[in-house]
């Protein structure tokens, strides 16, 4: 999360721009969610970056949304049976 926060807060706040950090919860057991995703971490050019690519049809539901340190933090969870 530290690297993501650094990216999200890289630029100073502006009147018409808001930084958003998405925290996504996904069960790694594909059978339980039906979600198709791939861990791209080993292909990242940035050391220790955790990247996951979700299929375009993946559905999420919002668990929470809050303002934290001049950015919105949106917690999502992969919906069952995508």
- Which spans in 1-82 are helix H? 2-8, 30-33
Q: What is the pLDDT of residue 63?
A: 97
Q: What is the pLDDT of residue 67?
A: 92
Q: For residue 33, count other CB atoms closer than 10 A to its CB.
A: 19
**pTM recorded for the entire structure:** 0.75
CA angle 5, 9, 15 (to 5 degrees): 140
In the numeric block, the tokens 């925290």 are attached to 23
**Burial of 54 per CB tally in 10 Å (0-12, 13-18, 19+):** middle
In tens, the pLDDT along 17-73 reads 888 999 999 877 755 667 788 888 888 887 777 888 999 988 999 999 999 888 899
The residue that leads in pLDDT, 43 or 8, is 43
């Amino acid at each position: 999360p530290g690297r993501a926060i650094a990216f999200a807060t890289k630029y100073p706040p502006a009147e018409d721009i808001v930084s958003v950090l998405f925290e996504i919860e996904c069960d790694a057991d594909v059978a339980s969610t039906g979600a198709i995703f791939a861990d791209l971490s080993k292909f990242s050019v940035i050391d220790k970056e955790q990247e996951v690519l979700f299929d375009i049809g993946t559905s999420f539901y919002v668990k929470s949304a809050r303002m934290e340190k001049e950015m919105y933090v949106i917690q999502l969870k992969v919906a069952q049976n995508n």
